[in-house]
Amino acid sequence: MKKLCARWVPRLLTIDHKQHREDVSMNCLAMFTKNKTEFLRRFITIDETWVHHYTPETKEQSKQWTSRGEAAPKKAKTTLSAGKVMASVSWDARDISFVDYLQKGKTINGEYYANLLQRLSEEIKVKRPHLSKKKVLFHQDNAPIQTFHQI
C-alpha cells in the first residue's frame, strides 16, 4: 500500500457532460468543414483570466553579464502584487474584440454576465459590421460545461 494525493482536475465531468462536449465539438467541426471562411468570420470565444497589477522579473530574467572578478549586481527582492483584476476577453480569428475588467469587490453572476454579453453584442456590431445580419457563433470557454450558442 502507498499513500497517494488526489490529482487536481479543473472539473469532474459526468458522462452526460463529456457527451455534450463531444457533441458540441463535432457540431463545430462539421460547420468548420462545411465553410471554413464563414465559420472563422462568425466564431467568437470569451474567457476570463486574472491579471496581476505587477509581475516582477524572475531570477533567470534578471541575469546580467559581468566581467571576471566583478561583484554580482544587487537587486531588491520584490513580491507579486496583491492587487489583481478579473478580465473577460473575447476574440475571433482576426483579433481581440472586447475586454471587460470586473470591478473590485464584484463577482460574476447572471446579471453581470447578461450585461457583459449585451455590451459584447454592441461591440461586435461596431467592430464586425458584417455580422449584423448573421448569427454569431459564440463559445464560452469557462462555462461549467463547454458551451456553444448562436446569438
Dihedral in degrees, nearest 10, Cα atoms 23, 26, 30, 33: 160
At 147 the pLDDT is: 47
**How far is CA 54 from its chain centroid?**
19
Which DSSP helix (H) or strand (E) runs through 147?
strand 147-150
pTM for the full model? 0.63
At 145 the pLDDT is: 40
How far is 129 from 33, CA to CA, in rounded Å? 24
Identify residue 20 by its one-letter amino acid code.
H
At 3 the pLDDT is: 62
Domain 15-55+78-150 adopts which CATH fold?
Nucleotidyltransferase; domain 5 (3.30.420)
pLDDT tens, the chain, 151 aa long:
666 666 766 667 788 888 988 998 899 999 999 999 999 989 998 888 888 777 667 777 777 787 888 877 777 666 666 678 889 999 988 899 899 999 887 888 888 888 888 999 899 888 888 887 788 888 886 554 444 444 4
12's grid cell: 469532474
CA atoms within a 13 Å half-sphere pointing along the CA-CB vector of 32: 9
